[in-house]
Each structure stands twice: as C-alpha cells, then as structure tokens.
Amino acid sequence: MSMPPTLEATTYHAMYVFGNHLHVSNGEKHFTTRNNGIVIMFKQECVSGPNDQPILVKLEYVGWIEEILELNYGVLNTTLFFYN
C-alpha cells in the first residue's frame, strides 16, 4: 500500500548533497566564505539565422541557491533547488 503525497513542502537552509554542503544565499550573510554557488552545464542546438544549420554548443550557467525544497509524493521524495 503506497502512502498519499503530502500537501506541504519541507524547506531547508542547508543540505549535504553529492559530497558538498550547500547553503541558501540569505543564510550565509555572516560567513566569510560562502557555499551557495551552483554551476549548470548543458548542451543546446543553436542557429544564427533562418537558413543556417543548427550547431551543438556547450553552455554554462553560474548562480546561487535561493531556496531548497523537498517534496513528498508518497513513494517518491524529490529535492528542488531554486537558484538565481
């Protein structure tokens, strides 16, 4: 028998994930070093004009974590990182 999903999300100010201890950005204002940065690397097809062939380029986004939420869907828990 599976459990029903909860209607509330759990908020975290810090989390240990993938070997790193991450914090939300507003919780680190009093620290001299910060651990709230995040880098996302992905590939995307881009074109420069309507007659050009698409090319695959590597793109990076660098930002900081604003909020960490955990959602419970009964048998599945998932964690969301909101970043800016």
User: pTM of this prediction?
Assistant: 0.61
Q: What is the total residue count of the chain?
A: 84
Query: pLDDT 10s per residue in the chain (84 long)?
Result: 567 777 788 888 888 877 877 778 775 566 666 666 777 788 989 888 888 899 999 988 888 888 889 998 878 888 888 887
Q: Is 77 exposed, middle or buried (0-12, 13-18, 19+ CB in 10 A)?
A: exposed
Question: Do residues 10 and 70 touch, judged by C-beta distance below 8 A?
Answer: yes
pLDDT tens digits along 38-58: 777 889 898 888 888 999 999
Q: Is 3 helix (H, G, I), strand (E, B) or coil?
A: coil
d(CA 10, CA 4): 16
The angle subtended at Cα 31 by Cα 68 and Cα 13, nearest 5°, is 15
Query: Which pLDDT score, from 0 to 100, does residue 56 have?
Result: 93
